[in-house]
Amino acid sequence: MPKVLVIHGPNLNMLGKREVDIYGDDSLERINTEVEAEGKVLGMDVHTFQSNDEGALVSRIQDVDKDFDALIINPAAFTHYSIAIRDAIASIKKPVVEVHLSNIYAREEFRQKSVVSSVAKGVITGFGPNSYILALNALKSLI
């Protein structure tokens, strides 16, 4: 059974409490439960990880090649400026899908640039929690 790591970046632990008009009222725990359940339906073993710390995210990304078959990442605010996360993703060999709950291209100008997209296999943005489900389905055909 393929193993997929889902990484959630900074402030995503506050989902359901912060800016619900943008991110919705689902908690991160609920999203993780739904993603793990969909993974089972697709025959995938899904593991989740969230951190507000850039270094912890980089370290976890670096473990993907030895522990997982693919990565789904929502870098959150780090999307727009973390060269460290971008370089960590570039260094792994497994497929990576970047996801975002909101459509970053319909938001503030500073949110419309992703330094991660160029090293991801694909990007899914703007479908709320379903962005993660769409990413799992995309990975199913890649692994």
Query: Per-residue pLDDT tens for 107-118?
Result: 667 666 789 999
* Residues found in the chain: 143
Enumerate the active-site residues. Answer: 23, 100
Which CATH number belongs to the domain containing residue 89 in this structure? 3.40.50.9100
Domain range enclosing 62: 3-140
How far apart CA 143 and CA 136 sit, in angstroms, is 10
Residue type, 87: D
Q: Into how many domains does the chain fold?
A: 1
Query: Per-residue pLDDT tens for 5-57?
Result: 999 999 999 877 766 666 667 889 999 999 999 999 999 999 999 999 999 99
3-state per-residue secondary structure call for the chain: CCEEEEEECCCHHHCCCCCHHHHCCCCHHHHHHHHHHHHHHCCCEEEEEECCCHHHHHHHHHCHHHHCCEEEEECHHHHHCCHHHHHHHHHCCCCEEEEECCCHHHCCHHHCCCCCHHHCCEEEECCCCHHHHHHHHHHHCCC
